[in-house]
Amino acid sequence: MKDVKGKVAFVTGAASGMGLGMARAFAAAGMKVMIGDIEAEPAQRAVDELKGKGLQAACVKVDVTSLEAMQEAARKTVDTFGKVHVLCNNAGVGCGGRSETAKMRNWHWVVDVNLWGVVHGLQAFVPLIQSHGEGGHVVSTASVAGMISIPGTGPYNATKYAVVGIMETMMAEQKDANLGVSVLCPGLVATNLGTSARNRQDQYGGAAKPNPKDAIAGSLADGLDPDIVGRLVLEAIEANQPYIFTNPALAHLMENRFRNIAAGNAWAASSKALAGVKQSAKLPG
């Protein structure tokens, strides 16, 4: 999307952190921004801040774990601003713990917010973006933890790999369409992710103070300024950039993963079980 001025963006998790950074960057570029967040008061403060600068913004309280709530948020966005062009599936929660020992309710919480929240966003908003023919862009926030597996955060990593998979699939499906598709894979960013359990819904155990043993709940204070990430996402939408990384210095970790994957294929090629088996080098699709 080269010309974002006057276009409408819906951003989940925009009351705080990177989502707020996106809302600020989009509004400053002349976009109309609908903030969707489970925390109503910070969302309203964000709207007041933007409106105080003469920018266009509104908010809706939404829990991304509910498809119906996301569909209602989509209706409110169109009622308020007429159309929607940009969706940022950004709301997410940090949750540490190993896959085999993390509390099951935390597994369900992180999957419901970080994975189902993205699916609900796509289902509720993409048909609306496609309906007006003016084009648009979808950005989902994954993480470098969707590219490399950080020990001690199995459930979180699982959701972020899933988001990368969904968005890479969409990139291929939408390559000839008027819809840009990006996946945001931040490194450390100085946000409130370490206190995610402030928003934990009752069905997952309710609100709680951060667990000091959580790998993710460690200090994020030295991370990147989330407003820089907001400006980076705007730049990526304008450039139709599919992968949005915030810390290129981490590239070696991803290259190391690809080397390990290549070694796995080389091992299979020399295995006794596959010796002499002829297979196609193509996949369907």
Ligand X SMILES: NC(=O)c1ccc[n+]([C@@H]2O[C@H](COP(=O)([O-])OP(=O)(O)OC[C@H]3O[C@@H](n4cnc5c(N)ncnc54)[C@H](O)[C@@H]3O)[C@@H](O)[C@H]2O)c1
CA distance 28 to 9: 12
At its nearest, how many Å lie between ligand X and the CB of residue 191?
A: 3
Token pair recorded at residue 106: 């935390």
Nearer to ligand X, 94 or 136 (CB): 94
Give the contact letters, 28-67, x = binds to ligand X (CB under 6 A), - = no. Answer: ---------xxx----------------------xxxx--
- 10 Å CB burial of residue 252 (0-12, 13-18, 19+) is exposed
- Considering the rule CB under 6 A, would residue 214 count as an interface residue with ligand X? no
At its nearest, how many Å lie between ligand X and the CB of residue 238?
A: 21
At its nearest, how many Å lie between ligand X and the CB of residue 221?
A: 10
For residues 95-134, which are near ligand X according to CB under 6 A? 113
H or E segment and range at residue 113? none
**What's the Cα-to-Cα distance from 208 to each of 110, 116, 198, 199, rounded to whole Å?**
14, 22, 6, 8
Nearer to ligand X, 28 or 148 (CB): 148
CA distance 117 to 113: 5
Nearer to ligand X, 15 or 236 (CB): 15
Number of residues that bind ligand X (CB under 6 A): 33
Residue with tokens 């989330």: 226
Token pair recorded at residue 13: 């998790």
One-character DSSP codes across 141-170: E--GGGTS--TTBHHHHHHHHHHHHHHHHH
At its nearest, how many Å lie between ligand X and the CB of residue 154?
A: 15
- Is 161 one of the catalytic residues? no
- Considering the rule CB under 6 A, would residue 18 count as an interface residue with ligand X? yes
Burial 254-285 (b: 16+ CB within 10 A, else e): eeeeeeeeeeeeeeeeeeeeeeeeeeeeeeee
User: Across-strand partners of 181?
Assistant: 138
Nearer to ligand X, 89 or 265 (CB): 89
CA distance 233 to 22: 7
Nearer to ligand X, 103 or 132 (CB): 103
At its nearest, how many Å lie between ligand X and the CB of residue 262?
A: 26
Nearer to ligand X, 39 or 49 (CB): 39
- 10 Å CB burial of residue 28 (0-12, 13-18, 19+) is middle
Query: How many Cα atoms sit within 13 Å of 187 on the Cβ side?
Result: 14
For residues 155-194, which are near ligand X according to CB under 6 A? 186, 188-189, 191-193
Give the contact letters, 78-97, x = binds to ligand X (CB under 6 A), - = no. Answer: ------------xxxxx---
At its nearest, how many Å lie between ligand X and the CB of residue 111?
A: 12
Question: For ligand X, which residue of 170, 196, 230, 234 counts as binding (CB under 6 A)?
Answer: 196
Question: For ligand X, which residue of 4, 15, 164, 233 counts as binding (CB under 6 A)?
Answer: 15
Q: Give the catalytic positions in this structure.
A: 156
Binding site for ligand X (CB under 6 A): 12-13, 15-19, 37-39, 62-65, 90-94, 113, 141, 143, 186, 188-189, 191-193, 196, 199, 220, 223, 226
